[in-house]
Amino acid sequence: MPTLFKRPRSPYWIIRYVDRHGQPKERSSKCRDRRRALGIGHDLEERERDIRAGRISPAEIDAESAALRPISEHLEAHLAAETERKLHPRHLAGKRASLVRYFEAERIRYLGEIDAESIRRHMRHLVEVGPRVAEDGRATRRRDEQRRSRDEATRPLSARTANAVRSSVLRFLSWAVEERRLAVHPCPGRSVPMLNEATDRRRLRRPYTDAELEALLRHVGRAPRANVYRLAVLTGLRREELALLRWGDVELADGEPCLRLRANTTKNRKAESVPLHPDAIAILEEMRPEDAEARDRVVGRMPTVLQLYRDLDAAGVQRLEGRRAVPDAGGRVLDFHAFRTTLGTMLAKAGVPPLHAKRIMRHASIETTDRHYTGLELSDLGRQLERLDPIRGVRPKVRPHCAPKRAIPGETVRDARPGRDDASRSEVASLARLGDDVRGVASKRVKGLEPSTFSLGS
């Protein structure tokens, strides 16, 4: 049974009780009423008996202790643990901004106040209204967005941004459970579903066409940034990876020419090797100074995104209004990362196997390469259908308004595919018994010519 006493010159009752190990302990009740202090003492002894009997687990004990600490202390500990995972600094900054935005908007001060309903409510507010604005008129967003006007800072955000906040909060809760700061996860299973990003894409990126690349490079001329644009297409490097590339990472002489990307320069923080196109090798040899050292950067001065927008505007490829690119009729834009999308599209048009394209693009899954980095048009798919052999016994009925060009009498039709010259001649000879319209369709299918590929070396 607990006992009470007071120390000299202290108005609070001190509780003496027995802990889980049978040792006497003393603790201040922080109250002046004797009856209330005695009730606190009985609760303390009952809790110690439950711990000793195993009715309360050690994880619950640690969680109770952590629940009394402010949320800011847990946030700093979580970010320190994430830093040890060698995440990208930009990713860490975004994670901090997302968590701070959520804690401030929902007025969360302790771990126990986080629940699934508050996360869902915060996500809905982000996509319907926008970030909540603090009392000083600033939105809980990134620092560059805090400098914007109040009206622009509170505009609704995309579903992708809301899902990023959700991911950051759930990762924070999982870490708290692993560190025994929470006894159980407050958002189990699918209690916080993701928003549909496909129906709410705010920034659509498309690949450059051959004509657009040619116009851009013609406008830039022999400026140093022209080689930067060419390398971005031929290597698929991200803008930051290209800016941090050093001559010590470039291997042109021995073995297979490639780029050895260091782990601290890549997005996934892993060392990777990038094979080089012959045009890229020629560009690097042209750019490399005679006295270049291994620690020197390949790109001395990286062109800014605004500089690229101005070049695209001057080349007549994409209009620029202020500092923003004007989307096309489909709501799509061109930017520096579109060079990387262009490489993925060129690989798909060239018939590169998806697994090889994934390795060249350095993606973790083929789905990423296919969904976000392959911009095939309807004409590209139509050319692939033209490569199919005609179906035997099927005579297509060609309408007069869409009749193909007739074959020239006596013209020799060659097949670009190996091993089909003899078969092609016999098929062309059999066309003499067909009508003129069908003869034109069949001869076109027999040719099987491949479309020409684009080269940036010229």
- Do 373 and 390 lie in one domain? The reply is no
The enclosing H or E element of 3 equals strand 3-5
40 located within any domain: yes
Residue with tokens 């291997």: 251
- Do 81 and 12 lie in one domain? The reply is no
Token pair of 410 as six digits: 């006596």
φ/ψ (deg, to 5) at 419: 80, 10
Closest by Cα among 410, 405, 401, 403 to 432: 410
Distance CA 302, CA 67 (A): 48
Among 163, 178, 193, residue at a domain's last position: 178
- Do 374 and 397 lie in one domain? The reply is no
Output the pLDDT for position 108: 92
Token pair of 338 as six digits: 């579109």
For strand 24-28 and strand 14-18, is the pairing parallel, antiparallel, or unpaired?
antiparallel
Packing angle, helices 421-430 and 436-447, rounded to 10: 170
- Do 256 and 326 lie in one domain? The reply is yes
DSSP annotation string for 185-233:
-SS-TTSSPPP-STT--S-EE-PPPHHHHHHHHHHHTT-HHHHHHHHHH
186 located within any domain: no
- Count the neighbouring beta carbons within 10 Å of the beta carbon of residue 299: 19
- Do 214 and 87 lie in one domain? The reply is no
Residues of the chain with pLDDT under 70: 58-59, 61-62, 132-154, 392-458
Distance CA 51, CA 366 (A): 51
Token pair of 435 as six digits: 């009508």
* Domain span including residue 144: 71-178
Residue 24, strand partner residues: 18
Distance CA 354, CA 365 (A): 10
- Do 146 and 96 lie in one domain? The reply is yes
- Do 346 and 274 lie in one domain? The reply is yes
Token pair of 350 as six digits: 């060239």
What's the CA angle centered on 160, arms 158 and 166, to 5 degrees? Answer: 110
- Do 271 and 371 lie in one domain? The reply is yes
Closest by Cα among 96, 65, 279 to 182: 65
Among 111, 143, 178, residue at a domain's last position: 178
DSSP annotation string for 11-32:
-SPEEEEE-TTS-EEEEE---S
**Cα distances (Å, whole numbers) of residue 393 to 77, 286, 390, 437:** 73, 57, 9, 16
309 located within any domain: yes
195 located within any domain: no
* Sign, Cα dihedral of 385, 390, 393, 398: positive
- Do 443 and 342 lie in one domain? The reply is no
Token pair of 254 as six digits: 């021995």
Any idea what DSSP says for residue 449?
Answer: P
For position 218, which CATH number holds? 1.10.443.10
82 located within any domain: yes
Residue with tokens 């804690």: 103
Q: What is the largest CA-CA distance in the chain?
A: 121
pTM for the predicted model, two decimal places: 0.61
- Do 36 and 113 lie in one domain? The reply is no
φ/ψ (deg, to 5) at 244: -95, 0
Distance CA 248, CA 261 (A): 10
Residue with tokens 């060609």: 398
Residue with tokens 């050319």: 383
pLDDT more than 70, % of the chain = 79
Output the pLDDT for position 444: 45
DSSP SS3 for 137? coil
- Do 321 and 263 lie in one domain? The reply is yes
Number of structural domains in the chain: 4
Strand order in the sheet with 3-5: 3-5, 14-18, 24-28
322 located within any domain: yes
132 located within any domain: yes
159 located within any domain: yes
CB 349 within 8 A of CB 455: no
Beta strands in 293-441 (DSSP E): 320-321, 324-325, 332-333
- Do 225 and 340 lie in one domain? The reply is yes
Residues composing the chain:
458
408: phi > 0 → left, psi -120 to 50 → alpha, else beta; which? beta
Strand order in the sheet with 272-275: 250-251, 258-261, 272-275
Closest by Cα among 77, 93, 110, 108 to 164: 93
Among 320, 343, 378, residue at a domain's last position: 378
